[in-house]
Structure 1
Amino acid sequence: MTGLDAALAGVAQWIGVNLLVDTVRITLPATDGPVYNPDTGQNEYPEGHVLYEGPGAVQGGTAQSEMSATPDAGQMWVQETKSRYRLMTPLSAPLAPKDAIVTVIGVHNTANTALIGRSWITQDPARAATTEVVRITPLDQIQAPREAL
């Protein structure tokens, strides 16, 4: 299997150079409650534990079926949607557990700076395969709160 391992290593290197060109952060949410900040006069949640910060890529689904709706119990209509995204990180990155927060903190293309600060939640731990070249973790976009009308 040396030939296969060498080929996979070459593909992993190409992906690292050409695809994992943005900077992402994977954070475990803080489990403590909010803490009063005397400087702002507000209760604020503490920062979570950073598991990884480094090269990565977030890609959305390409098919219409990549978005699904989830009804709330007791409501006659669909409340929220689930948006299917994928996080790609090098195999050297730690496995992101379910419900970790993924945030884009740097982009290679200055035209995409609107992505900085955008966040997703991991739906499951990273996927595994016997022939991996990049770590893939399924994500759902964190929905912005609705504005009052």
Structure 2
Amino acid sequence: MLDPTVMARFAERHLMPDRVRVARDGSDDLLDPDTGRLVPAPDRVVHEGQAGLYGQQERIRSRGGRGTAWVEEVRPAYRVLFPLSAPEFRGGDTVTVLEARDEHAVGRTYRVSAPDEVSSVPVLRTVRVEEHNRKRSS
């Protein structure tokens, strides 16, 4: 059997060419001492580093309504590969692409849509995300 640590190093070297930041909503409001008002807490960065962004297509099949035929929809979906050293991510965490081989990806943001996938032989962390913002950084 292959050594998982060797496979993990291979995955990090060849499948994760991008750099991302993952932030979590600060949730509770904070008191601004200058104004005396409650202001939203800043997002907390939970990971910044190496990753790989990969697009795919999801086929969704649903009924259009009572008595109607099934409707099949194809929509874009994305997954992000992280090293195993990355923390566990939560739904709603925001992934921002800081550097990427594909310059069109830089500045885009994605929301974590599902908990991390797990595996019997873990070599990387896979997270499903939905595109949130296509704005490019300047």
TM-score relative to the length of structure 1: 0.66
Structure 2 residue 25 is matched with structure 1 residue 25: no
Identity of aligned residues (%): 23
1:49-88 paired onto structure 2 within 5 Å: 49-61=44-56, 63=57, 66=58, 68=60, 83-88=76-81
* Greater fraction of residues in strand: 2
Residue aligned with 1:17, SS: helix
1:1-149 paired onto structure 2 within 5 Å: 3-4=1-2, 6=3, 8-31=4-27, 47-61=42-56, 63=57, 66=58, 68=60, 83-107=76-100, 109=101, 112-143=102-133
CA RMSD of aligned residues (A): 3.0
Q: CA deviation at 1:137?
A: 0.6
User: Unaligned stretches of 5+ in structure 1?
Assistant: 37-43, 71-80
User: Unaligned stretches of 5+ in structure 2?
Assistant: 33-38, 63-73
TM-score relative to the length of structure 2: 0.71
- Structure 2 letter corresponding to 1:91: L
Cα deviation code 1:21-78 (max 9, x no counterpart): 1101110023256xx9xxxxxxx966410000000011111x4xx16599xxxxxxxx
**In 1, Cα distance between equivalents of 2:16 and 2:134:** 26
Q: CA deviation at 1:96?
A: 0.8
**In 2, Cα distance between equivalents of 1:46 and 1:98:** 18
Q: Is the 8 A contact 2:27 2:40 kept in 1?
A: no
Q: CA deviation at 1:115?
A: 1.3
Residue aligned with 1:59, SS: strand
**In 1, Cα distance between equivalents of 2:61 and 2:14:** 33
